[in-house]
Amino acid sequence: MWDYTDKVMDHFKNPRNVGEIKDADGTGQVGSLICGDALKLTIKVNKETEVIEDVKFQTFGCASAIASSSILTEMVKGKTLAEALKITNRDIAEALGSLPEEKMHCSVMGMEALDAAIKSYRQGGAPVIFEQEPGTNIVCHCFNVSEQAIIQAIHNNNLKTVEDVTHFTKAGGACGKCKEEIGRILSKVLSCEVPSAPKAEEKKPYSEMTIVEKIKAVEEVLNNDIKPKLNLDGGSVELTDINGNIVTVKLLGMCGGCMNAGATLKGFVEKTLKDKISKDIEVKQA
């Protein structure tokens, strides 16, 4: 029997925010039923402030998995996406009073599901399954754990043994064939041959961007989110100037001479830039 804290048992027996948000802004999934642990996290986000207003989870797993998921939902609700992304698996475990070392991978699963849900929101809401990037060196094929994930776990949690790595990542917890490779990675990291894993870059506020960064950010949204939809009706748009929060654009093609040009400018172009970049942006016609 695992030595669980009272808080772990409380969240296991009375989990908070269980279920699924039907009109979720972001959906993140991690794990699989085949491996024994799976978690689905859905979030509702205020698009102006990027504050997580609601979050729910569905999980298949042990008491630690349920408790970790439950307390994570309490931790992220009311936080901005940037604040939520700073939460580590160690934060989740500490919020529960502690977790058995053999169950620390459950807190990692929550962190990965949150990353996937936020990525889903950033990409328009389509569900995202947490997985390794193409070309990643997979060390543990039983649980799909990459070399980079192992390095990050070692650095973030001060791991010292192969057994520690298994507790935190599940790598080596099935057939065990990868334990020798895990040992080599551990030795390199502890001897400072491998740098710590880079952290996800936080989104820079529009007000703090240089003019070049503002142009790049606006052009990216115009090209990826706005122009494709205007093109469907024979129209387009181009950026002509940026002055502080004022973005000046020129509607082209069918959009330029349309009697609804004003509505397109404010209701679509400006709204999209506000949603994607900053609520302070104001769009004007050249």
- Cross-strand partners of 135: none
Instruction: Report if pTM > 0.75.
Output: no
Residues near 212 by beta carbon (within 8 Å), at least 6 away in sequence: none
- Give the range among 81-90, 95-104, 131-140 with minimum mean pLDDT: 131-140
Half-sphere exposure of 259 (CA within 13 A, CB side): 0
| pLDDT value at residue 235 | 80
Residue 70 tokens read as 């439950």
Q: How many CB atoms lie within 10 A of CB 233?
A: 12
On average, the pLDDT of the chain sits at 85
pLDDT at 21 over 90: yes
Tell me the residue type at 19.
G
Please work out, in degrees rounded to the nearest 5, the angle formed at the alpha carbon of residue 106 by the alpha carbons of 11 and 124.
95
The stretch 61-81 carries a mean pLDDT of 92
The residues annotated with a catalytic role in the active site are 35, 106
pLDDT at 193 over 60: no
